[in-house]
Amino acid sequence: MSSLLEVRGLRKSFGGTEILRGIDFSVAAQELVFVIGPSGSGKSTMLRCCNRLEEPTAGHVFVDGVDLMAPSTDINAMRRRIGMVFQAFNLYPHMTALGNVTLALRKVLGKPREEAEAIALAALDRVGLKEKAGNYPSELSGGQQQRVALGVALANRPRVLLADEPTGELDSRSSDEVFAAIRTANGLAPLQEAAAH
């Protein structure tokens, strides 16, 4: 099975402190990988290095075989293949769920409103929130807000989805909803169904 995301010899230092010391791993298509460790151990830094929101000190990150560290790589184009979900929902409070999802499609990708809304509705449907498209973040639970944030990331049809503690601020029920949405978006059965087979 070929790797969709491959990290080789990843290092990151802040001043004289080395946070990441030669990290190597690979992720195949539809594979879910969880990184577990104590607070401050470098998990978020590693994820941010995987789309160069943080510049690695050394090493290589490949997405679909493209080296993100190569000088010839168009990092903005490659970031469109990498979805990112953060612990904080990062939704605009004055925009509806639909508005939040369509924003990047219209402003960054330049898609016409009708096309952007069709893509956004499909993304909200994938996370089980199509019926909440007209709701504002303040009208949604924490789990629903995080699922909208997931919809924002999925709307661009990324090849890789990086999620930085996506359930860190949620209760157990909302966390289950978010993980179920991630599994469904990845083409995987919910855990209860998967366990039955």
Predicted confidence (pLDDT) per residue in 94-146, tens digit = 999 999 999 989 988 899 999 999 999 999 998 999 999 999 999 999 999 99
Taking 50 as the pLDDT cut, the residues of the chain under it are 193-197
Inter-residue contact 124 to 160 (CB < 8 Å)? no
For residue 118, the model assigns a pLDDT of: 96
pLDDT number for residue 194:
38
What is d(CA 107, CA 57) in angstroms, rounded to the nearest whole number?
32
Structure tokens at 9: 């010899």
pLDDT of residue 189: 58
pLDDT of residue 1: 54
pLDDT given for residue 197 in this prediction: 37
CB 46 within 8 A of CB 35: yes
Question: What single-letter DSSP state applies at residue 92?
Answer: -
Res 45: pLDDT = 95
pTM summary value: 0.84
Give the pLDDT score at 86: 85
